Amino acid sequence: MKRVLCFVLAVFLSISLMMGLCFAQAKKSYTFGFVPGIITNPFYISMNYGAKAAADQLGVKLIWQGPQNWDFAQQTVVVDALVSKGINALILSPCDPEALKGPLQKAVEAGILVITTDTDINDPEAKIRVTNVASNNYLGGIKAGEALAKAIGNKGEVALMGAMTGVTTNEDRYKGFKEVMAKYPDIKIVATEYSNSDQSKAAQQMQSVILAHPNLAGAFGVDTPTAHGCAVGIRNAGAKGKVKLVAFDAQPLEVEDLKEGLTSMLVAQAPYAMGYLGVQFAYDYLEGFVAKFPGNFTTGYYIITPENVNDPETKKWVYQTEPPK
């Protein structure tokens, strides 16, 4: 994790130096609100660690609040409450690209800086948020597709085991994966399912797909609940070792699936770096160090395989499950 953070910070520093960035003492004290997509998810818990580290270093007061479920209505309540507190910046991972635009526009009208992390809103001209700090999820979908193609020898039937529709991160992963599959004439996507990020539902769907397609060679699980559910489904269907599963993210459950041989590869993101940079960018913008950011600032990936799963470097990329104190 430190390696990717150093990398993205080095890139940011080079950009900032060209813009005339200088590091100085804060002119005033700041309070930032940070709203994850779901507060109990290890991905966002890891993001909290990064955000807290940056806030502690910069002397920023950080209010970390979020919904208990992936629900834009619950998230809107949190956003509205933070806006009413008169915070200086709002950093969040929107649960819906359209539904959160109105609440965030109100935040901007109240003089609050808005930055999105991980997921995004539909704001191509950056009139609401100044930047989005996230993985390149399209690239992540490509990486997953390439890994699956290699795992099945570039031929066979595969399944796209999706989570939600309309979520920017998921849609980009679907797109990248499908484009890779289309390059291989001997690979065919025979099933596309959406679990709504429900682990039990994903397990049932995976079993059903294997039953309907006994020659299934591989599958792509687009997020943690879906991927772990698929691993359970593969085990229950007696297809361990037969169906190659490529999974997104690196929660502890997924790492155990990899070690057990139910999953072939994990595409790990860098949530710590997203949280850290979200706070750092907001601070730099408010201090006047940087007048304009790129519309999207992407963090990297780390591929976890059976060969490197026990390496010390790999352990840095496994997501946290306990919130920072």
Asked if the model's pLDDT at residue 152 lies above 50, the reply is yes
pLDDT given for residue 27 in this prediction: 56
From the CB of residue 91, how many other CB atoms can be counted at a distance below 10 Å?
A: 28
Residue 117 CB contacts under 8 Å (≥ 6 apart), including other chains:
47, 91, 92, 93, 132, 133, 134, 274, 275, 278
| Strands ordered across the beta sheet of 302-304 | 187-194, 156-162, 216-221, 244-248, 265-268, 302-304
Calculate what percentage of the chain has a pLDDT beyond 90: 89
Asked if the model's pLDDT at residue 192 lies above 80, the reply is yes
From the CB of residue 235, how many other CB atoms can be counted at a distance below 10 Å?
A: 17
Look up the pTM and report it. Answer: 0.87
pLDDT given for residue 13 in this prediction: 42
Of 98, 3, 31, 49, nearest in space to 312 by CA: 3
Tokens of 150: 């290699």
Q: Is 196 helix (H, G, I), strand (E, B) or coil?
A: coil
Identify the residue with better confidence: 287 or 25: 287
- Tell me the one-letter amino acid at 6: C
Chain segment 121-137, per-residue pLDDT in tens = 999 888 999 999 999 99
Chain segment 166-185, per-residue pLDDT in tens = 998 999 999 999 999 999 99
Boundaries of every domain in the chain? 2-130+270-299, 137-268
Q: Which helix (H) or strand (E) holds 91?
A: strand 89-92
| Local confidence band at 325 (pLDDT 50, 70, 90 cut-offs) | confident
**Same CATH fold assignment for domains 2-130+270-299 and 137-268:** yes
Per CATH, the homologous superfamily of domain 137-268 is Response regulator (3.40.50.2300)
190 and 160 in contact (C-beta within 8 Å)?
no
Calculate what percentage of the chain has a pLDDT beyond 70: 92
pLDDT given for residue 18 in this prediction: 38
* Mean pLDDT for the stretch of residues 44-71: 97
pLDDT given for residue 4 in this prediction: 47
Asked if the model's pLDDT at residue 318 lies above 80, the reply is yes
Query: How far is the C-alpha of 43 from the C-alpha of 271, rounded, in Å?
Result: 6
Residue 172 CB contacts under 8 Å (≥ 6 apart), including other chains:
136, 137, 138, 140, 141
Asked if the model's pLDDT at residue 17 lies above 70, the reply is no
Q: Assign a CATH topology to domain 2-130+270-299.
A: Rossmann fold (3.40.50)
